[in-house]
Structure 1
Amino acid sequence: MTRSFFRAIAMVFITCAAATGLAQTLDPKSVELAKTVPIADIHMHTYSRNGPSTAEVVERMTANNIRWGGGVGDLRIDIADALRGRHIPAAGQREFAESFIRQGASALIETENVYFRDLFRDAHDMFAKGTIKGFGELHTNNENSGPQPFRRKIKTDNPVIRKFYTIANEFGGFVQLHTQHNAEFTEDILRLSEDFPNTTTILSHCLPHGQPEDLANLFKQRKNIMCEMSATGELHNRLARVNRPGRAYSANGLRPKWKALIEEFPDRIMLGSDTCCGWDAHYGEAITEIRTNLLPYLRFDVIEQVAYKNALRVFKLDAGR
């Protein structure tokens, strides 16, 4: 066989390795920082029913050096009291879920829905007192990215979501959305983020079915859109028994296009665990996956920003350690 043949084979290997992250050279400083950097968990579920106790939540956070957490799930005053300035209290997910389960997807766009009425009435006072800082996780389109009985698809720019944005806008709050990427969503979220400039949109899981270029398109057009990277590795696929590689990172490392996105927009990306759906026992695995397969592949100067500094800024958290 000719030398050119072996050269061609080598180029194929290098190309494949780069595509999977194998060709990435790790900075030893990044590897060490990834092990110890404190993390803000922006997708930390805290269910009222069959959820972990306050002591269990605090223990898991401490064991994994998670200094701040919240952003989704049921509003639990016990956890808020335990974490105080380290908590990111959110409301709306329980009401959204109850309405869908009992009334169906069509009820999720009705502002006079009994499940939303009390929340909308009380939300201003809750923001003013610091009881909540935003709303989430609100599922508008998870028809291909959630447990089958929980799937639905509604338009993101609808009267109910607009009401959430209107209230959050008055207080500089956030709305965390779980929705899949498509052209209609892009139009909706660009319109909402323009109409409510004081509301920060957080895209759960960095927009399921979205590619780095789709997120870059949104980030370039709006300063108040961010995303969090929970469930973009391999663990959640294994837990869901889905035979699919990690969307953004895997045991082979962080995919080059995702690395490029994060390092181009380091002020727009945050981290999350998303141990929903009875997966609380896997919390440590979710954080370990982030520390070993995602963070070490970032530039040293970006790691702290993504791990917690963006969250401190957006949610006005207590920076004390």
Structure 2
Amino acid sequence: MTKKYIQTLLLCIWIGGTSPSFAQSPDPKSAALAKIVPIADVHLHTYSRNGPARDDIVQRMNANGVRWGGGVGDLRHDIAEALGNRHIPAAGQREFAESFIRQGSVTLVEKENIYFRDLFRNAREMFAAGTIKGFGELHTNNESSGPPPFRRKIKTDNPAMRKFYEIANDYGGFIQIHSQQNPEFTEDILRLSADFPNTLTILSHCLPLAQPEDLANLFKQRKNIMCEMSASGELHNRLAKINRPGRAYTTEGLRPKWKALIDAYPDRIMLGSDTCCGWDAYYDEAIAEIRTNLLPYLRSDVIELVAYKNALRVFKLQM
């Protein structure tokens, strides 16, 4: 074996592939549906500071067949008004980020945190009014991803997170968490999802560093855990200047282990764009990658579940 072949083989094993080559031919019916199926983007960032303009967000969604969006980012009332029942409103990311930037990660575990105080006080009223449907994206462990100044690691099961879960639990809400797979996270998320059975946990990016079997382990133990597949292709690696192929899918298709996971748990997977970090201009490309490299390799009924029907069910959206 050549050195290059061995390196490629090891890389494929590390990211969950079974072989350095897995090129597939999509089913023609699935490929046709993938081009036109409506999409719910459950990782649509709408920052209030230096974020995209309302009209730009709506235009990009409409141009790409994205009918519903949200789930993360700052709570922007202009976006909520423009999208109406197409919106998946979430709160908490701005407060989480400001607390980390100003006080460091140690404060993120404190439920008396001054940056969480107003949010916790007002959240129940916002849930009751439908102003929010959940909290997200809450970063508990991104120690090996994102800009270095934004990286942190805290325990996911902590007093502040329990407060988020408690409030969401009372209203059947969701919490979208960005963390990384490790034994401690597995224990924490299984405990939280058991203690707060009415809270839906959505794992951003289908849990970075997780193998499909790690996600299957969570799905089979808890009905209230799902994940969304943003940043699991090749685009985000290229934008971040990371020289490795897509974690779940590439231009050659969907990795066999990931296809097996989706086929086994089609009601637990959703889609997202995650054009964070100044990457708004790449929104078209993010959705095109999903329609070209991921969806065509699924059965037609699974395409519809993953693309939008799961989101309609859990967020109580309208068609």
TM > 0.5 fold call: yes
SS at the partner of 1:188?
helix
**1:150 and 2:147 equivalent?**
no
**Identical counterparts, % of pairs:** 77
Q: Which amino acid aligns with 2:209?
A: H
Q: Distance in 2 between matches of 1:18 and 1:48?
A: 42
SS at the partner of 1:141?
coil
Quote the residue 2:85 is aligned against: 85
Unaligned runs of 5+ in 1: 1-11
Q: Distance in 2 between matches of 1:77 and 1:21?
A: 46
Q: Distance in 2 between matches of 1:105 and 1:147?
A: 15
User: Is the 8 Å Cα contact of residues 178 and 207 (structure 1) preserved in structure 2?
Assistant: yes
Q: CA deviation at 1:237?
A: 0.4
Quote the residue 2:6 is aligned against: none
Structure (1 or 2) with the larger CA radius of gyration:
1
Q: Distance in 2 between matches of 1:90 and 1:112?
A: 21
Post-superposition CA distance 1:209-249 (Å, at most 9, x none): 00000000000000000000000000000000011110000
Quote the residue 2:210 is aligned against: 210
Quote the residue 2:252 is aligned against: 252
Q: Distance in 2 between matches of 1:78 and 1:97?
A: 21
Consecutive aligned runs of 4 or more in structure 1 exceeding 6 Å deviation: none
User: Is the 8 Å Cα contact of residues 111 and 160 (structure 1) preserved in structure 2?
Assistant: yes
Quote the residue 1:225 is aligned against: 225
**1:43 and 2:43 equivalent?**
yes
Quote the residue 1:117 is aligned against: 117
Post-superposition CA distance 1:261-281 (Å, at most 9, x none): 001000000000000000000
Q: Distance in 1 between matches of 2:220 and 2:18?
A: 26
Q: TM-score, normalising length from structure 1?
A: 0.93
Unaligned runs of 5+ in 2: 1-8
**1:188 and 2:188 equivalent?**
yes
Residues 272, 21 of structure 1: alpha-carbon distance in 2 compared, 3 angstrom cutoff: farther
User: Is the 8 Å Cα contact of residues 21 and 255 (structure 1) preserved in structure 2?
Assistant: no
Q: CA deviation at 1:25?
A: 3.3
**1:96 and 2:96 equivalent?**
yes
Q: Which amino acid aligns with 1:19?
A: S
Q: CA deviation at 1:24?
A: 2.5
SS at the partner of 1:82?
helix
Q: Which amino acid aligns with 2:255?
A: R
Q: Distance in 2 between matches of 1:20 and 1:30?
A: 25
Alignment of 1:291-302 (within 5 A): 291-302=291-302
Q: Distance in 2 between matches of 1:300 and 1:88?
A: 25
Q: CA deviation at 1:295?
A: 0.3
Q: TM-score, normalising length from structure 2?
A: 0.94
Q: CA deviation at 1:20?
A: 5.1
Q: Which amino acid aligns with 2:96?
A: F
Q: How many residues are paired up?
A: 305
Q: Which amino acid aligns with 1:252?
A: E
SS at the partner of 2:162?
helix
Q: Which amino acid aligns with 2:217?
A: N
Q: CA deviation at 1:145?
A: 1.8
